[in-house]
Structure formats: structure tokens, C-alpha cells
């Protein structure tokens, strides 16, 4: 009986928390717009084969009769030099952008955060020195150059591009969490846990980590946009996704040759990149507001 | 009865926050006469600092709203004064000593520089040259019994102890010939012996100049040693006022009684029980008398109407329907 | 001189029933860039079971350091801590897990002693989980609800975060947390200094009740002498890392011997005239408290002492037993 009451109280509290978080998030109308944009993009991406006007364009497709047509009611964003529908290719191109964002963050965040927590908690010990000096080395290399170097050594492709971006991204999480962890180390509640006899793992994951969640989630939201942009930059120079697979960066690159006459081949993919990055940035701002920063 | 120096009449102060309106002050009445030492006691969150900040007009408006009430200083309403008049009063007539001396002093300027600023803005006529200012600064530091004032002028606040910083804050407050001093929890962050020294010093200086002082504190023992009259505040209004010694030995309002009972004493056996319940939320304060949810003697009328002041004795008034 | 020290030690050991805690010559120095901070410089006392031992002093006296060293936050530089006869003079990391169940601490600042990112139930669950006090998770929830009940907090506080509750209530959670593992000895470091008087009264009365109910020994630290009088059985006063005087409470307040004790007692702010009469004659304290990095030679108090004699600036006095249970460390009494 008592357990049931407690369970329902818990659910009530969680619902209250969700409502309050939404309230804080939605104070800024731009955050809502960002969220809307991202939701639309995600839907479009997931259901790309069904929503796109000319699904065949996403694959090897050549139709020189339709090539280089300006935007019209049939081809809303026009066609490219091979006759492929630009809008369809944008929808499918978003897939690779989002995949890159999700995979990179899924690898980088746990790794970076764990290292940061450990380094901060064991401040002034050899553990911290090793971790932070390695972090310093990676931070010192200009990020894009590192990515380019890795990609040019290995065969260009989505997988290697993701690896390269991971390599240059993790140190920032480590640094951020290191700062918070080392400052929380001296707090009384951490001491209380230590004195009770909690294990180090518990202290790192259950005492210190929850206090870092706000900046971590904010950073992740903002980073999605950045990772997508870096991914597009790599593709732009030919080190990412290879043709004929549709990818926003490579579409912009290919379309450059046809500027300014067939402007739609480059411009629409560029706008698409801008939309997704802007969307994530606005969501990131909203997340920051939500956590009351 | 001399004419009051400062009179707060029915002051209401509200704050607009996202969840609604915090109705913090609910009709505060306070009188300070020239040369009087007044205490304002109450627990955390009762509105003492809000009251004091409104005297100096330090409350940011918005989010603060003052729907009703007046603060009359020397016959004029502070809330309606022009900014020049207000400036003049802040420079020459009313000074405030804040609770935390470390926070009140700018850590990147030396004491000498900060005193210099205080002197320049005090608008005294006889300090013109740099030498004059320096001498005035040294004089101010000597007044608060700081040893070796010349050397202290060159120090940064963080190089000095808490007691010294508090003395410097006091000297800065007294640089202009203040008529009214407001001391917000002076010495709370200091050790007992140092706090004792500081309060004696304050009392001495105030008596020497004939200024009035409002001493705000949640430590009733301090207030007893230093003030002539005291106001007890709860949840945004004054609940009882009277001569200090009298009120402390004979508290009438149930809240004052509970408070005095709960203080650990050197006599008696054990500590009294606290007062049950919590301080009310200002978003949705209790109707009528704000103390009624926690009061032992609550009657139906207490929930409906706010009690007015009942005069029990010369100078001893209570806001309670018991009377 | 050595003889009187031995005598003192013997007398201390003889005090109330079984001593749950015995501290002898505890020293804790912190080595910083500004110099060596001699936070605790040779402290000895004993606490009996079910006794409340009060430690009083101003800033820099070392009282908090003593508390934290006993609990295990610091490694003692020198000296011994005996708990129920066992030597535990190390940091808590090197102490057996079972010990951590028995010795608990309530911190001074309720705001930072509770993790703001965890709910009350999670905070209270930790000691129960670590020490496997209750093994079944459902039973654990019941025990947590019981603990909340014990400190008179409503059960819907379980899922609140510390930022949503008041200072006094946070401190009550801190006390519940300390008592969750059924300890025998609780260190309380200024538990009510940050709280209002009415809440303080509630908490102190609760602590006294728990002591009687669970047979706890308390090491109670505060700077508020009036409070100390109403809660402690014996009081020790510290100055710059050393104890100046130890006495049973009533003795301490009736016949304070050490000049520092008298100075402190004469500066207590009191409420009634009755109390005013009970205070020793007003000694106006002069000067500032020296920093523990720069402790004066001889008796550390001599620069501020109104009754100093020539030897005070040269030699450090030793603790002597003046009466049964009443010891002072002052040249005026070592004749």
C-alpha cells in the first residue's frame, strides 16, 4: 500500500519536473521554432523514401533530359547536372548528416565525460596528469586539420570521417567536465558520501555526474549542429561520403562548378545545412534556458 | 515627543516573479526619531532587508512594485523624490552598513582608493586637495580604532581580517555626517569577541554624533545590548514594538513569545520548543493575520482581518486580536 | 611537569562510564605555501557513551579540524584516536567499512551538505545501500520513509530536491542521513549556526530526544555558548589549536578559570537581566585573533590576555587538573 503511494508520488513529481522544464524551455519563441525545424527534419529524414518526390534520385540515376532544370512545381529545388531531383537528394543527404552527428556524440560523450570526471576527482594525482596532458595534446591540434589528416591517410568515406571527428571532439567534453568535477570534489556532499564509505565509482557517477548533466546536455545539443557542419566540410573537400551517395557537403561542392547560372544545385543544399545547424543551435539555447543557466 | 526623522507608513512591497506576485511587505509601520537607536528583529525571510533597501530606494523597480505606502524622511516622501534629492540624501544623510563586509568592499581597489571615493562623493566642502582627502581618510580610520591607518590605506581588502573590514565599512558609512545609519546584521560573519568589539564601537560612535541607527538583526541578544526601542517583524509586517528591555522581558505577541522562548539562555533548564510550522509563502500568503496558521491562540477573526496596532502600554504596541 | 600531565591523563581516562572516544595528543598541521597551519596542536580529551561533549572556540581555534580528523576526513599528523579501545588514527579511506557505520557527521552548511542533483530519497538511500543496513529495495524505501517520519518531515519530501526545501529542513535530512546507519557516535559541526532561532530550538530538542532514544554520544561543536550550556554535559574551549579549559557544563559557566573563557563568556549577548548577572565581569577583548600560521610564542593567548604574567610570553603552559573533571591550561594555575 505504502509502496503504491510512493510510486504515484514519484510519477507525479516526474510529471511536474517535465512541465517545469518545458516551461523554462519555451520562454524563448526561437527555441520552439528550432525544435519545430529539427522535428520536421528528423521526420523527413526517417521517412525519406516515402516523402521525397523523386526517390530514385537518391541513387545512381541519370536522366539528361531533366538535367539542370531550375526550380519548378515538379522539382521544387530544381535538378542537378545528372537530372536528379535536388530536394530528394537533400532529404536523403540529411540522413548522413544526422547519422554522423548521432554516432559521433554517442561515442565522444561517454568517453569524454568519464575521463573528465575521473581526472577532476583525482586531481593532483598521476591519473589526472596523464588524462589531462593527453587531452591537452589533442586540443592543441587544429581540429579540422586533424580530421583532414586522418581522412587523407585512410580511405575517404563516412566511417573514417566519423572516426576523425570523434578524435578531435572528445577533449572538449573532458575539459568541461574536468572543471566541474574538480570544483565539486571539495563540496560537503561529496565528502559526506566518502565518509559514509561509498565507492569511487558511485561518487563519480551518482554524486558528481548528475551535477554536470545540465552543461553536458546543453553542449550536446549545440554540438549536433557543429558536428554536422564539420561533416559537411569534410564532404565538401571530398573526404567524407563519396558520390553517388547524396550528401549535403558534396552536393554543395559539385554544384560550385555551375555557379552562378545553375545556382540551385549548390544553394539549396547549403540552405539545408544552414537550417539543420541553426535548428540545433536554437534547441541548444533552449536547453540552456531550461536548465536555468 | 520630537518629530520623527524617518517614518514608514503602511509600506507594501511586491515582487513580480514568473510564478506570480510575491507579496513580501504587507503594511510596515516604523518610526525613528533623531538620536534614537532602533532595532528591527525577525527571522530569515521576514522582510527586514527588503524594508531597509526600500528606504534607500535600492530595490530594482521592476521587478519590485510598491503599490501602497510612504517613506517620509524629514517630512518628504522618499518614494516620490527626484533623483537629485535622493542622491543628496544618500550622500549626506542616510548611510547603510551591509551584512558582509567582504562583499561590500571592492577587492580590486585598495582601502585608500575606496575611502577616497567615499570622501569625494560625500560632498564635504573642506576636502579639496589630495592631501586633505588623505588626512580625512586617516581621521576616519582612527575614529574606528584601526591601528596604523597610514599602512592600512595601502592594503587591499582581502589582506585584512573580517573585523577590520567591518570597521572600514563603518568608517565609510560615517564619513558623511550621517543623520541615519542603517546597519544590516553587522558582525554576523564575525567571531563573538570581535562582534562585541564592533558593536560597542558602533554604539559609541552613534552616541557621540547624535545620529539615529536602525540595527537589523536576527540575534536578539545583540539588539538588546544596543537599542532603545525594538520592532519585531514577521512575514512582512511589524507584529510588536516597544522599549527593548520591556519587550524582551514581557513579550506580548505569540510570535515574540515563541521567539524569545526558543533562544538558548544561561538560565533555566533546556531550550524552549520552537514555533511549529514554517514561514508562509509570499505567493499565497495566509489571509488576515499572517501568523494565524502557527498561532496557539488563533480565533476566527484572525483568519479574516488583519489586526491593527493595539496600544498596551506607553510605547508598547501589539498587532494581535488577543488584545 | 611530566607528572601532572600523566595525572591529567589518568584522570581523563577515569571519567564517565566507558569512554567511547579517547583522543590523546592529537596534532594536525596543514602545509601550505604561506607556511605551516597548526590547526590542531596537541589536543586530548575523552567522551563517554551517551555523553554530549561540547567543543567551543572562535575561528582558527581548530575545533572543526578536530571534528573532521575524528571522523576521518584528515589523516592526523601525530597523536592517537581510540574508538571503543581500537586505534583509528587514520583517514576514513583506510578505516574498516564497519567503522564508518558507527561514526557519523552532521555538517554545518545544510546547503552544500546535500547533493543538489539528487532527490531526498536518493540521498537517504546511500548510507543504507553502502552498509547493507536493509537489503531488500522495497524494505529500503520503507526505512527511508521511516527516517523522514522520525525527523518530522512529510513523506512527499521523498522526491523533492534539496533546493526546494528550507535550510532547517535540509539540516533535518542531514541528521536523518547521519542516523540512518544506527551509529553510536555522531559529530555535529555547528549544525544550527546557519539557521533561525525557532528552527534551531526544534532541531536541538530533536537531537536531545534522539540521544536518549538511541543512546548516542555527541561531539557538539559551536561558537554559541548559550546553546552549549543547554546541550552539553562537558565543555572544552579551544584557542589556536589547543584546549584552554575543560569542565562539566555547570562548572564551566559558574566558575570559568581561564582568562579566554572569561573573555568569551563576558561577550555573550543575552536576553534577560537575570542572565546578565550570571555573566563574568566584562572583559573587553582587545586585538584580533592571530592566524594559525603565525602563532605567538609562549602561551598563544598572551597577546590578548588581560591577566598575563612575565612567563606567559616565554613558556607554553600545560594542562593541569584543578578539580575533579575541571582542567585548565594557564600559568596562573600551574604553581
Question: Would you kindly state where each structural domain of chain A is located, as residue ranges?
Answer: 2-290
Which of the given ranges, A59-68, B112-121, C207-216, has the highest pLDDT on average? C207-216
8 Å CB contact of B272 and C208: no
Is residue B279 predicted with pLDDT exceeding 90? Answer: no
Chain C positions touching B271 (Cβ under 8 A) are 200-201, 204-205, 227, 230-231
pLDDT at A1: 54
First to last CA, chain C: 10
Is residue B229 predicted with pLDDT exceeding 80? Answer: yes
Q: Which of C100, C141, C158 lies closest to A195 in CB terms?
A: C100
- pLDDT grade for B221, boundaries at 50, 70 and 90: confident
Chain A positions touching C141 (Cβ under 8 A) are 2-3, 6
Question: How much of chain C, in percent, has pLDDT values that exceed 70?
Answer: 94
Q: What does the domain layout of chain C look like in residue ranges?
A: 2-248+291-333
Residue by residue, what is the 3-state secondary structure of chain B?
CCCCCEEEEEEEEEEEECCEEEEEEEEEEEEECCCCEEEEECCCCCCHHHHHHHHCCCCCCCCEEEEEEEEEECCEEHHHCCHHHHHHHHHHCEEEECCCHHHHCCCCCCHHHHHHHHHHHCCCCCCCCHHHHHHHHHHHHHHCCCCCHHHHCCCCHHHCCHHHHHHHHHHHHHCCCCCEEEEECCCCCCCHHHHHHHHHHHHHHHHHHCCEEEEEECCHHHHHHHCCEEEEEECCEEEEEEEHHHHHHCCCCHHHHHHHHHCCCCCCCCCCCCCCCCCCCCCCCCCCCCCHHHCCCCCHHHHHCCCCCEEEECCEEECCCCC
Chain C positions touching B43 (Cβ under 8 A) are 196-198
- Residue from B189, B191, B261 whose CB has the most chain C CBs within 10 Å, to mutate: B191
User: A110-114, A119-123, B122-126, C250-254: lowest mean pLDDT where?
Assistant: B122-126
8 Å CB contact of A207 and C115: yes
Are B42 and B237 contacting, i.e. CB atoms less than 8 angstroms apart?
no
Give the pLDDT mean for B55-68.
Answer: 83
User: A12-16, C23-27, C50-54, C106-110: lowest mean pLDDT where?
Assistant: A12-16
Residue of C nearest to A188 (CA): C113
List the domains of chain B with CATH numbers: 6-93+176-318 (3.40.50.300)
Chain C positions touching A187 (Cβ under 8 A) are 112
8 Å CB contact of B263 and C226: yes
User: A207-221, A235-249, B236-250, C286-300: lowest mean pLDDT where?
Assistant: C286-300
Q: Which of C199, C264, C270 lies closest to B192 in CB terms?
A: C264
Question: How much of chain A, in percent, has pLDDT values that exceed 90?
Answer: 33
pLDDT at B193: 79
DSSP bridge pairs for A48 = none
- Residue from A187, A192, A205 whose CB has the most chain C CBs within 10 Å, to mutate: A192
8 Å CB contact of C272 and B248: yes
Closest chain C C-alpha to A169 CA, distance in angstroms: 27
Closest chain A C-alpha to C160 CA, distance in angstroms: 8
If contacts are CB pairs under 8 Å, which of residues 206-265 in chain C contact chain A?
none
- pLDDT grade for C81, boundaries at 50, 70 and 90: very high
The CATH architecture to which C2-248+291-333 belongs is: 3-Layer(aba) Sandwich (3.40)
Q: Which of C93, C138, C159 lies closest to A9 in CB terms?
A: C159
pLDDT at C14: 41
DSSP labels for C91-152?
Answer: -GGGS-HHHHHHEEEE-S-HHHHS-TTS-HHHHHHHHHHHTTSS-SHHHHHHHHHHHHHHTT
Closest CA to C59 of C238, C260, C284, C295: C238
Its pTM surpasses 0.90: no
- Phi and psi at residue A5, to the nearest 5°: -60, -45
- pLDDT grade for A55, boundaries at 50, 70 and 90: confident
Closest CA to C245 of C68, C292, C254, C18: C254
pLDDT at C280: 78
pLDDT digits 0-9 by tens, C211-222? 999 999 999 998
- Class level of CATH domain A2-290: mainly alpha
Contact partners for chain A, using 3 or more CB pairs closer than 8 A, are: C
Which residues of A make CB contacts under 8 Å with C? 2-3, 5-6, 9-10, 13-14, 187-198, 202, 206-207, 210-211, 213
Is residue B144 predicted with pLDDT exceeding 80? Answer: yes
User: B184-188, C28-32, C278-282: lowest mean pLDDT where?
Assistant: C278-282
Long-range contacts: C11-17, Cβ < 8 Å, 24+? C11/C321, C11/C324, C11/C325, C11/C327, C12/C44, C12/C45, C12/C46, C12/C327, C13/C46, C15/C46, C15/C48, C15/C325, C16/C48, C16/C49, C16/C51, C16/C233, C17/C48, C17/C49, C17/C50
Residue of B nearest to C269 (CA): B221
pLDDT at A293: 56
pLDDT at B123: 66
Is residue B173 predicted with pLDDT exceeding 60? Answer: yes
pLDDT at C54: 94
- Residue from C201, C208, C209, C294 whose CB has the most chain B CBs within 10 Å, to mutate: C201
Amino acid at each position: 500500500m505504502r509502496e503504491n503511494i510512493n510510486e504515484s508520488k514519484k510519477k507525479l513529481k516526474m510529471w511536474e519536473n517535465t512541465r517545469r522544464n518545458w516551461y523554462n524551455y519555451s520562454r524563448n519563441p526561437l527555441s520552439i521554432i528550432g525544435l519545430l525545424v529539427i522535428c520536421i527534419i528528423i521526420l523527413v529524414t526517417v521517412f525519406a523514401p516515402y516523402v521525397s518526390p523523386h526517390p530514385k534520385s537518391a541513387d545512381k540515376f541519370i536522366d539528361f533530359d531533366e538535367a539542370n532544370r531550375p526550380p519548378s512545381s515538379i522539382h521544387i529545388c530544381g535538378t542537378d547536372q545528372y537530372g536528379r531531383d535536388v530536394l530528394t537528394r537533400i532529404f536523403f543527404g540529411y540522413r548522413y548528416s544526422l547519422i554522423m552527428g548521432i554516432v559521433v556524440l554517442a561515442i565522444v560523450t561517454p568517453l569524454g565525460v568519464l575521463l573528465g570526471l575521473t581526472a577532476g576527482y583525482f586531481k593532483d594525482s598521476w591519473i589526472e596528469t596523464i588524462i589531462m596532458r593527453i587531452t591537452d595534446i589533442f586540443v592543441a591540434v587544429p581540429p579540422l586539420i586533424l580530421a583532414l589528416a586522418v581522412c587523407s591517410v585512410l580511405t575517404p568515406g563516412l566511417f573514417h570521417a566519423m572516426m576523425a571527428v570523434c578524435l578531435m571532439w572528445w577533449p572538449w567534453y573532458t575539459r568541461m567536465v574536468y572543471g566541474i568535477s574538480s570544483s565539486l570534489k571539495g563540496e560537503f556532499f561529496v565528502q559526506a558520501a566518502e565518509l559514509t564509505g561509498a565507492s569511487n565509482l558511485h561518487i563519480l557517477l551518482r554524486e558528481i555526474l548528475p551535477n554536470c548533466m545540465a552543461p553536458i546536455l546543453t553542449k550536446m545539443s549545440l554540438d549536433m549542429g557543429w558536428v554536422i557542419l564539420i561533416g559537411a566540410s569534410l564532404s565538401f573537400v571530398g573526404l567524407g561520403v563519396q558520390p553517388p551517395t547524396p550528401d549535403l557537403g558534396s552536393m554543395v561542392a559539385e554544384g560550385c562548378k555551375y555557379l552562378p547560372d545553375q545556382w540551385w544545385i549548390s544553394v539549396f543544399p547549403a540552405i539545408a545545412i544552414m537550417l539543420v545547424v541553426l535548428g540545433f543551435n536554437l534547441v541548444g539555447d533552449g536547453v540552456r534556458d531550461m536548465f536555468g543557466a | 515627543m520630537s518629530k520623527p526623522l524617518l517614518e514608514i507608513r503602511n509600506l507594501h512591497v511586491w515582487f513580480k516573479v514568473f510564478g506570480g506576485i510575491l507579496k513580501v511587505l504587507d503594511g510596515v509601520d516604523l518610526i525613528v526619531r533623531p538620536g534614537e537607536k532602533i532595532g528591527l528583529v525577525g527571522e530569515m525571510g521576514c522582510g527586514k532587508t527588503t524594508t531597509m533597501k526600500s528606504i534607500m530606494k535600492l530595490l530594482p523597480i521592476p521587478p519590485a512594485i510598491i503599490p501602497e505606502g510612504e517613506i517620509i524622511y524629514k517630512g518628504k516622501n522618499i518614494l516620490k523624490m527626484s533623483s537629485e534629492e535622493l542622491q543628496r540624501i544618500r550622500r549626506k544623510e542616510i548611510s547603510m552598513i551591509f551584512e558582509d563586509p567582504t562583499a561590500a568592499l571592492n577587492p580590486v581597489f585598495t582601502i585608500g582608493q575606496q575611502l577616497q571615493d567615499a570622501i569625494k562623493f560625500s560632498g564635504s566642502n573642506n576636502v579639496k586637495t589630495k592631501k586633505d582627502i588623505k588626512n580625512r581618510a586617516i581621521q576616519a580610520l582612527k575614529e574606528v580604532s584601526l591601528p596604523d591607518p597610514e599602512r592600512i590605506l595601502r592594503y587591499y581588502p582581502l589582506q585584512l581580517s573580517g573585523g577590520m573590514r567591518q570597521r572600514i565599512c563603518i568608517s565609510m558609512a560615517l564619513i558623511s555626517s550621517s543623520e541615519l545609519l542603517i546597519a544590516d546584521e553587522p558582525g554576523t560573519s564575525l567571531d563573538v569577541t570581535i562582534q562585541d568589539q564592533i558593536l560597542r564601537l558602533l554604539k559609541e560612535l552613534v552616541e557621540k554624533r547624535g545620529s539615529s541607527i536602525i540595527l537589523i538583526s536576527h540575534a536578539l541578544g545583540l539588539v538588546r545590548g544596543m537599542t532603545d526601542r525594538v520592532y519585531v517583524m514577521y512575514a512582512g509586517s511589524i507584529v510588536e514594538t516597544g522599549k527593548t528591555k520591556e519587550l524582551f522581558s514581557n513579550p506580548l505577541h505569540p510570535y515574540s513569545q515563541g521567539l524569545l522562548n526558543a533562544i538558548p539562555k544561561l538560565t533555566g533548564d533546556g531550550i524552549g520548543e520552537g514555533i511549529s510550522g514554517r514561514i508562509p509563502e509570499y505567493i499565497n500568503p495566509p489571509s488576515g493575520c499572517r501568523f494565524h496558521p502557527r498561532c496557539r491562540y488563533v480565533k476566527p477573526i484572525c483568519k479574516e482581518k488583519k489586526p491593527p496596532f493595539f496600544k498596551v502600554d506607553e510605547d508598547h504596541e501589539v498587532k494581535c486580536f488577543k488584545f | 611537569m611530566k607528572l601532572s600531565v600523566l595525572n591529567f591523563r589518568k584522570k581523563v581516562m577515569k571519567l564517565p562510564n566507558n569512554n567511547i572516544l579517547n583522543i590523546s595528543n592529537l596534532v594536525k598541521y596543514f602545509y601550505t605555501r604561506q607556511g605551516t597551519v597548526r590547526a590542531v596542536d596537541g589536543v586530548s580529551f575523552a567522551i563517554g557513551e551517551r555523553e554530549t561533549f561540547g567543543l567551543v572556540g572562535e575561528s582558527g581555534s581548530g575545533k572543526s579540524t578536530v571534528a573532521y580528523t575524528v571522523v576521518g576526513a584528515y589523516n592526523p599528523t601525530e597523536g592517537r584516536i581510540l574508538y571503543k579501545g581500537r586505534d583509528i588514527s587514520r583517514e576514513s579511506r583506510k578505516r574498516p567499512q564497519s567503522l564508518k557505520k558507527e561514526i557519523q557527521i552532521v555538517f554545518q552548511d545544510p546547503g552544500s551538505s546535500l547533493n543538489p542533483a539528487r532527490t531526498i530519497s536518493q540521498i537517504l538511500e546511500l548510507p543504507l545501500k553502502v552498509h547493507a543496513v536493509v537489503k531488500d529495495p522495497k524494505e529500503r524505501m520503507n526505512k527511508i520513509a521511516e527516517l523522514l517520519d522520525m525527523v518530522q518531515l512529510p513523506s512527499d519530501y521523498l522526491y523533492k530536491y534539496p533546493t526546494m526545501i528550507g535550510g532547517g529542513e535540509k539540516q533535518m535530512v542531514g541528521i536523518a542521513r547521519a542516523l540512518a546507519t544506527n551509529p553510536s557516535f555522531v559529530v555535529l559541526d555547528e549544525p544550527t549556526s546557519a539557521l533561525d532561532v525557532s528552527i534551531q530550538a526544534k532541531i536541538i530538542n530533536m537531537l536531545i530526544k534522539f540521544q536518549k532514544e538511541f543512546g548516542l554520544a555527541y561531539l557538539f561543536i559551536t561558537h554559541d555558548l548559550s546553546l552549549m550550556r543547554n546541550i552539553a554535559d562537558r565543555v572544552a574551549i579551544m584557542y589556536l589549536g589547543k584546549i584552554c579549559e575543560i569542565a562539566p557544563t555547570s562548572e564551566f559557566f559558574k566558575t570559568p578559570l581561564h582568562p579566554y573563557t572569561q573573555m568569551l563568556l563576558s561577550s555573550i549577548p543575552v536576553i534577560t537581566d537575570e542572565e546578565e548577572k550570571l555573566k563574568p565581569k566584562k572583559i573587553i577583548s582587545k586585538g584580533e585573533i592571530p592566524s594559525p600560521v603565525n602563532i605567538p610564542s609562549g602561551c598563544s593567548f598572551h597577546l590578548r590576555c588581560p591577566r598575563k604574567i612575565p612567563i606567559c610570553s616565554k613558556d607554553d603552559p600545560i594542562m593541569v587538573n584543578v578539580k575533579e573533571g575541571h582542567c585548565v591550561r594557564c600559568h596562573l594555575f600551574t604553581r
